[in-house]
């Protein structure tokens, strides 16, 4: 059958000339005959469910050409929105009349030119799918929106035949579907099995053996006590944090080729603490996405925003900051959408989503929300990149409060002596007005001083090499005494002073009198070009500009004053730098006051070196000669406080100030006089008060300097424009877009400009269709190994539908109405009869439900890679349970880092070797090898579902990893000490500590036979068997128990609790 193509409807519509109409009518009659033959007895056929039967067909076979993506849509025909059939071209789909529907005609056509989907797409429907589609039209073509985009409502509990099995509502939903499938639940698991399953799921560690020895261990009330014990354990937060760290792509390095270190562990500790405190999930969401935007945010709420700074960050010298920023923002959009909504928003970066109702405009509306933080687009190679803050933990915050209080009290003691200070200052001024230059003034951190009193010599706290004799400048009247005249002739070298890199803090101050507003260098120590480095302060068209180069063109920081300053007057200029490797760490002060500046360059990332050029005044290799005068150069190796800079900007000399009566001094001169006295007083109560204040300040500063930092989110003062990006590429901007939220999911009610706080509130709004469903599904996945939606990373049309949709909605609503209480939801799951079933399966169950989709048996879930190692250490009493703090470096193969990295692995020692695995240093390019062997996430991107493999490498690790060897040896020694001459007692000891149960009689007999055979071997009497663990030999007396422990550690039952 052939057809002409209508230009208005593309390949779908049949030309309606009389001849064609007759042919189509004849074809329709033939089609009707085929349909009737195919569905001969429709009365006995199960009715089609659109979401279950039809939507997957349309999504997989039709949406690529007729779905949400307008750019790829053919024939202007859209099949993802069939709620308005009147909007379809005439004749495409006629409910109850498949014989008259063009869609069915084209799907069933034998003509390759007519058949849909076209054969060259390789998306053709099979016979079953064609029948389902035809039956759906015959039944009325009822369309339903995708289930996950409809807000959940609490369904009624279903009726079941065996209500006595039901412990809570979860069981009613599960049992209802089991009965429909002709299946029955499994018996309740043994107490020790339940205890181990429960504790490992909720804490990542096994329950204590003593708790199983209580008289009523098998009673349901005792199990409920175990649930509460696990939920209250501090290890609960560590176990709950692990999958969240995987989702957040948390690591201790930046990734990419350099893979330098970063400091994000305070955020990791915040997550653990939040779970342990049972922070409501809506608050957990708001603080991580927008804690910095809350009114008067606390430090912890700002630390929480580190969630969206965990992405990889490029510090390569050739990287383009705008491109890196674009990739960072895209990562935030995609991670946030996947973590909270379970949608593949990344598919809308280059075009409209081909399956889900997300447009490219909606993607970039979200992009704009995350595009407005103060990041430079360049990572510091080793360290945190802006924006970041000091991140004291809860104990450190208490210490900080104590130190601040001590400083305030010391200041109060000094202030109380004000009358005495004023009296003594009068005498001090009279005594020293003639010899003020000999007084101690601003000496803390002063390393170079030049006064230009007819020579270039000065005071140097650091020894510098003698420089070759050079012509002197002309001298003129300076701000105080003489000053250096800059006339374009003098080379301006002051020698090897000001030896600073981008990792050293400093302050440089100087007095400057410009003759004109032409471009020129005030001071410099700089060289240009690819290998350039150094710094310079210039005066150009009235603006002061400071530039620091650490690495040619790839590492520069620059600021420039916003307002111009006129020529022909004296200015006191001060530049400070805080060693942050960021232009935001540069500050410019003029006449003692901070000046508003714009950032001109900010792409520094790698440690720099000292410039090989000398320190010059009035001259630079990157600027013109300066014309004017300079005076009083001071260089400090610390960042001066604003008040100190204010004092230095006083033009009068110290002697002049002291010679004035108090009433004649200006406010600034009074400050200078008082500070000068306090810096020189050497005895009495004032001296003691000054000393006490200095010590209190020193203790506080030293403590603050040692505090860890954490990268955070921080809004820019001005809005950064966001564009649609062609093909998602940073350098191909299209139309401007404003921040917005996806209307297809849940319309926003705000009329103001949308920010991250609006996004967070939108996500946890009670009627949001996805957030609660996605989170309870992940909680179910944590407990059962698989979510009710098996594709926990994709709740969109391409994802799997829920196995128990009503149960999922009931849980989602319960979660919201409980106040987003995570522990409440886990308690519900753990206390359900569904969770407490035995994981053993019958032949009937395996045949009818091989994947346990209907949950007729309990879970048996492979432990997380981190928990496998933790279990070894716990069983052998080697585990160090200290919580939080910097990452540690447990065993890994020697020289692994040196083969692939520029660094040497700094293996920990002592207790740090045996801490929980969540605290292990995680390097992106070289993951912890033991964890990687057991399928740990690589933390390159957001991972919401862990993969499980069985490989030979895992078997090798189970018998060779240093941790398992040391654990087996320690456990063998303990069993031998407890039962020195009783092999059966040793076997019981090992089983109880590893498997939390007693061995069966068969297991005892087999192991006793092994023990007996060993005793007949010659090695049994040898003191040294030649078997060493961490360079320590295994004693012959403990060798059988050592081997038994190794075997038990590698059992499937050990790694996958039943």
Q: Which residue, 1035, 279, 367, 444, is CA-closest to 739? A: 367
Are residue 471 and residue 613 in the same domain, yes or no? Answer: yes
Q: In the structure, what pLDDT confidence band is assigned to residue 490 with cuts at 50, 70 and 90?
A: confident
How many structural domains are present in the chain?
4
pLDDT at 548 > cutoff 90:
yes
Q: Is residue 89 part of a domain?
A: yes
Q: pLDDT by residue (tens digit) across 118-136?
A: 888 888 889 898 898 999 8
pTM here is 0.89
Are residue 630 and residue 657 in the same domain, yes or no? Answer: no
pLDDT at 530: 81
Q: In the structure, what pLDDT confidence band is assigned to residue 666 with cuts at 50, 70 and 90?
A: very high
Side-chain half-sphere of 919: how many Cα atoms within 13 Å? 26
Are residue 583 and residue 665 in the same domain, yes or no? Answer: no
Are residue 482 and residue 606 in the same domain, yes or no? Answer: yes
Q: How far is CA 965 from the centre of its chain?
A: 34
Give the C-alpha separation, 378 to 947, whole Å: 33
Are residue 427 and residue 460 in the same domain, yes or no? Answer: no
| More confident site: 27 or 718 | 718
Give the C-alpha separation, 74 to 604, whole Å: 49
Q: In the structure, what pLDDT confidence band is assigned to residue 3 with cuts at 50, 70 and 90?
A: very low
Paired tokens of 492 = 């301006």
Give the C-alpha separation, 673 to 203, whole Å: 63
Percent of the chain with pLDDT over 90: 68
What is the rounded average pLDDT of the residues 851-875?
Answer: 95
Q: pLDDT by residue (tens digit) across 995-1014?
A: 999 999 999 999 999 888 88
| More confident site: 222 or 680 | 680
What is the rounded average pLDDT of the residues 1038-1051?
Answer: 93
Give the C-alpha separation, 492 to 620, whole Å: 9
Give the C-alpha separation, 1056 to 950, whole Å: 12
Q: Per DSSP, what are the bridge partners of residue 476?
A: 483
Cβ atoms of 165 and 835 within 8 Å: the answer is no
The residue to which tokens 């409502």 are assigned? 153
Q: pLDDT by residue (tens digit) across 68-92?
A: 877 778 877 888 777 656 667 777 8
Q: pLDDT by residue (tens digit) across 759-775?
A: 999 999 999 999 999 99
Q: Is residue 224 part of a domain?
A: no
Q: Which residue, 854, 768, 773, is CA-closest to 809? A: 773
Indicate the DSSP class of residue 540. E
Are residue 438 and residue 503 in the same domain, yes or no? Answer: no
Q: Which residue, 254, 298, 398, is CA-closest to 711? A: 254
| More confident site: 402 or 78 | 402
The residue to which tokens 């930092």 are assigned? 709
pLDDT at 141: 83
Q: Is residue 302 part of a domain?
A: no
| More confident site: 895 or 344 | 344
Q: Is residue 811 part of a domain?
A: no
Are residue 399 and residue 516 in the same domain, yes or no? Answer: no
Question: Range of 620's domain?
Answer: 445-637
The residue to which tokens 């792509």 are assigned? 249
| More confident site: 491 or 514 | 514
103, 127, 144 - which closes a domain: 144
Paired tokens of 477 = 């009247």
pLDDT at 286 > cutoff 60:
yes
pLDDT at 1025 > cutoff 80:
no
144, 170, 199 - which closes a domain: 144
Q: What is the largest CA-CA distance in the chain?
A: 121
Q: In the structure, what pLDDT confidence band is assigned to residue 934 with cuts at 50, 70 and 90?
A: very high
Give the C-alpha separation, 852 to 303, whole Å: 41
pLDDT at 94: 87
Q: Is residue 62 part of a domain?
A: yes
Label residue 327 left, alpha or beta by phi (over 0 means left) and psi (-120 to 50 means alpha): alpha
Paired tokens of 13 = 């519509």
pLDDT at 694 > cutoff 70:
yes
Paired tokens of 68 = 């949400």
Paired tokens of 382 = 């080793």
Q: pLDDT by residue (tens digit) across 958-972?
A: 999 999 999 999 999
pLDDT at 471 > cutoff 80:
no
pLDDT at 38 > cutoff 80:
no
- DSSP annotation string for 68-121: S-GGG-STT---S--S-GGGSPTTS--TT-GGG-HHHHHHH-S-TTT-SS-GGG
Residue 997 CA: distances (Å) to CA of 148, 192, 961: 43, 6, 25
pLDDT at 8: 34
What angle, rounded to 10 degrees, do the helices at 865-875 and 962-978 form?
30
Q: Is residue 853 part of a domain?
A: no
Are residue 451 and residue 566 in the same domain, yes or no? Answer: yes
Q: Which residue, 285, 166, 303, is CA-closest to 837? A: 166
Q: Is residue 672 part of a domain?
A: yes
Coil, helix or strand for 933?
Answer: helix
pLDDT at 1027: 66
pLDDT at 153: 96
Q: Which residue, 434, 250, 230, is CA-closest to 924? A: 250
Q: How far is CA 948 from the centre of its chain?
A: 23
Side-chain half-sphere of 85: how many Cα atoms within 13 Å? 14
CATH number of the domain where residue 592 is located: 2.60.120.200
Strands 1024-1029 and 1032-1035: antiparallel
Q: How many residues does the chain have?
A: 1058
Cβ atoms of 731 and 752 within 8 Å: the answer is no
Give the least confident one: 62-66, 271-275, 822-826.
62-66
> 3-state SS string over 935-961?
CCCCCCCCCCCCCCCCCHHHHHHHHHC
pLDDT at 24: 44
Are residue 14 and residue 140 in the same domain, yes or no? Answer: yes
| More confident site: 1031 or 583 | 583
Are residue 521 and residue 598 in the same domain, yes or no? Answer: yes
Average pLDDT, the chain: 89
Are residue 599 and residue 450 in the same domain, yes or no? Answer: yes
Q: pLDDT by residue (tens digit) across 173-213?
A: 999 999 999 999 999 999 999 999 999 999 999 998 887 77
Q: In the structure, what pLDDT confidence band is assigned to residue 794 with cuts at 50, 70 and 90?
A: very high
pLDDT at 304: 98
Residue 405 CA: distances (Å) to CA of 296, 708, 949: 21, 21, 56
Q: Per DSSP, what are the bridge partners of residue 6?
A: 10
Give the C-alpha separation, 447 to 433, whole Å: 25
Q: Is residue 405 part of a domain?
A: yes
pLDDT at 429: 92
Are residue 531 and residue 662 in the same domain, yes or no? Answer: no
| More confident site: 412 or 87 | 412
Q: Per DSSP, what are the bridge partners of residue 588?
A: 575
Q: How far is CA 927 from the centre of its chain?
A: 16
What is the rounded average pLDDT of the residues 155-160?
Answer: 96
Coil, helix or strand for 636?
Answer: strand
Give the C-alpha separation, 1044 to 585, whole Å: 60
Side-chain half-sphere of 1058: how many Cα atoms within 13 Å? 18
| More confident site: 1041 or 606 | 1041
Side-chain half-sphere of 478: how many Cα atoms within 13 Å? 26
Instruction: Give whichever of 132-141, 260-269, 525-534, 893-902 has the largest mean pLDDT.
Output: 260-269
Percent of the chain with pLDDT over 70: 93
665, 687, 707 - which closes a domain: 707
pLDDT at 551: 84
Cβ atoms of 158 and 173 within 8 Å: the answer is yes
Cβ atoms of 71 and 58 within 8 Å: the answer is no
Q: In the structure, what pLDDT confidence band is assigned to residue 696 with cuts at 50, 70 and 90?
A: very high
């Amino acid at each position: 059958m052939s057809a002409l193509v209508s230009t208005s409807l593309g390949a779908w519509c049949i030309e309606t000339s009389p001849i064609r109409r007759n042919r189509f009518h004849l074809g329709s009659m033939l089609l009707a005959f085929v349909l009737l033959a195919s569905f001969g007895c429709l009365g006995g056929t199960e009715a089609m469910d659109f979401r279950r039967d039809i939507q997957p067909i349309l999504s997989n076979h039709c949406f690529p050409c007729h779905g949400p993506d307008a750019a790829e849509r053919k024939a202007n025909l859209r099949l993802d929105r069939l709620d308005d059939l009147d909007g379809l071209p005439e004749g495409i789909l006629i409910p109850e009349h498949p014989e008259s529907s063009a869609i069915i005609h084209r799907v069933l056509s034998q003509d390759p030119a007519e058949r849909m989907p076209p054969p060259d797409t390789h998306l053709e429907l099979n016979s079953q799918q064609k029948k389902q589609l035809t039956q759906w039209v015959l039944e009325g073509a009822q369309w339903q929106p995708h289930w996950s985009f409809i807000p959940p409502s609490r369904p009624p509990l279903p009726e079941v035949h065996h209500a006595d099995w039901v412990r809570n509502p979860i069981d009613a939903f599960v049992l209802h579907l089991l009965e429909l499938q002709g299946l029955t639940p499994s018996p309740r698991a043994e107490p020790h099995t339940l205890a181990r399953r429960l504790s490992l799921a909720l804490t990542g560690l096994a329950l204590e053996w003593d708790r199983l020895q209580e008289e009523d261990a098998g009673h349901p009330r005792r199990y409920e006590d175990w649930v509460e014990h696990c939920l209250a354990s501090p290890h609960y937060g560590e176990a709950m944090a692990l999958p969240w760290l995987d989702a957040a792509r948390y690591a201790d390095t930046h990734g990419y080729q350099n893979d330098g270190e970063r400091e994000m562990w305070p955020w990791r500790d915040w997550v653990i603490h939040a779970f342990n405190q049972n922070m409501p999930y809506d608050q957990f969401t708001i603080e991580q996405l927008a804690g910095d935007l809350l009114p008067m945010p606390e430090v912890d709420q700002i630390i929480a925003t580190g969630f969206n700074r965990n992405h990889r960050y490029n510090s390569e010298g050739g990287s383009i900051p705008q491109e890196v920023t674009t990739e960072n923002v895209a990562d935030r959009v995609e991670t946030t959408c996947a973590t909270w909504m379970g949608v593949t928003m990344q598919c809308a970066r280059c075009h409209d989503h081909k399956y889900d109702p997300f447009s490219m405009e909606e993607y970039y509306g979200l992009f704009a929300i995350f595009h407005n933080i103060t990041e430079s687009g360049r990572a510091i190679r080793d360290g945190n990149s802006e924006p970041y803050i000091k991140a004291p933990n809860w104990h450190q915050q208490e210490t900080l409060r104590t130190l601040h209080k001590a400083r305030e009290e010391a200041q109060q003691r000094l202030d109380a002596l004000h009358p005495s200070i004023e009296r003594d200052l009068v005498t001090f001024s009279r005594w020293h007005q003639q010899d003020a230059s000999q007084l101690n003034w601003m000496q803390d951190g002063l390393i170079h001083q030049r006064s230009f009193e007819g020579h270039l010599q000065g005071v140097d706290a650091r020894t510098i090499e003698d420089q070759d004799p050079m012509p002197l400048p002309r001298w003129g009247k300076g701000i105080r005494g003489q000053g250096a005249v800059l006339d374009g002739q003098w080379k301006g070298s002051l020698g090897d002073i000001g030896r600073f890199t981008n990792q050293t803090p400093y302050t440089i101050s100087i007095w400057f009198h410009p003759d004109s507003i032409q471009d020129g260098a005030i001071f410099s120590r700089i060289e240009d070009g690819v290998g350039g480095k150094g710094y310079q302060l210039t005066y150009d068209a009235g603006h002061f500009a400071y530039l620091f180069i650490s690495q040619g063109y790839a590492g520069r920081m620059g600021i420039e004053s916003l307002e111009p300053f006129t020529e022909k007057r004296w200015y006191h200029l001060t530049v400070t730098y805080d060693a942050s490797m960021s232009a935001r760490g540069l500050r410019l002060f003029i006449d003692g006051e901070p000046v508003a500046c714009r950032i001109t360059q900010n792409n520094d990332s790698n440690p720099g070196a000292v410039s090989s050029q000398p320190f010059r005044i009035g001259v630079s290799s990157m600027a013109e000669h300066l014309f004017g005068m300079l005076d009083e150069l001071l260089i400090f190796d610390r960042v001066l406080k604003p008040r100190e800079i204010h004092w230095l900007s006083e033009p009068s000399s110290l002697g002049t100030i002291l010679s004035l009566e108090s009433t004649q001094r200006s406010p600034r001169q009074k400050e200078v006089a008082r500070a000068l006295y306090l810096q020189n007083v050497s005895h009495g109560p004032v001296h003691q008060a000054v000393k006490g204040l200095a010590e209190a300040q020193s203790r506080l500063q030293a403590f603050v300097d040692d505090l860890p930092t954490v990268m955070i989110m921080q809004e820019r003062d001005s809005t950064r424009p966001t564009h649609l990006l062609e093909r998602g590429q940073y350098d191909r901007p299209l139309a401007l877009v404003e921040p917005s939220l996806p209307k297809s999911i849940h319309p926003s009610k705000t009329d103001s400009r949308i920010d991250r706080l609006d996004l967070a509130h939108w996500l946890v709004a009670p009627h949001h269709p996805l957030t609660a469903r996605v989170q309870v599904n992940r909680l179910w996945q944590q407990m059962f190994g698989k979510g009710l939606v098996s594709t926990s990373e994709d709740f969109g049309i391409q994802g799997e539908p829920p196995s128990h949709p009503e149960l999922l909605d009931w849980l989602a609503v319960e979660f919201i109405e409980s106040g987003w209480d995570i522990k409440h939801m886990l308690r519900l799951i753990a206390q359900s009869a569904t969770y407490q079933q035995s994981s053993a399966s019958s032949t009937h169950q395996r045949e009818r439900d091989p994947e346990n989709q209907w949950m007729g048996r309990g879970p048996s879930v492979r432990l997380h890679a981190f928990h496998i190692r933790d279990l070894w250490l716990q069983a052998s009493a080697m585990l160090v349970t200290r919580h939080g703090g910097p990452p540690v470096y447990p065993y890994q193969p020697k020289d692994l880092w040196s083969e692939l990295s520029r660094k040497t692995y700094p293996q920990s020692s002592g207790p740090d070797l045996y801490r929980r695995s969540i605290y292990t240093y995680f390097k992106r390019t070289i993951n912890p090898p033991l964890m990687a062997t057991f399928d740990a996430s690589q933390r390159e991107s957001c991972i919401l579902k862990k993969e499980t493999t069985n490989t030979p490498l895992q078997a090798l690790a189970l018998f060779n990893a240093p941790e398992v060897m040391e654990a087996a040896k320690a456990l063998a020694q303990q069993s031998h000490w407890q039962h020195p001459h009783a092999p059966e007692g040793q076997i019981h000891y090992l089983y109880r500590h590893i498997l939390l149960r007693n061995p069966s009689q068969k297991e005892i007999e087999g192991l006793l036979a092994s023990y007996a055979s060993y005793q007949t071997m010659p090695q049994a009497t040898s003191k040294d068997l030649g078997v060493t663990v961490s360079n320590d030999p295994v004693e012959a007396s403990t060798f059988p128990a050592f081997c038994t422990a190794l075997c038990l550690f590698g059992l499937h039952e050990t790694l996958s609790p039943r």
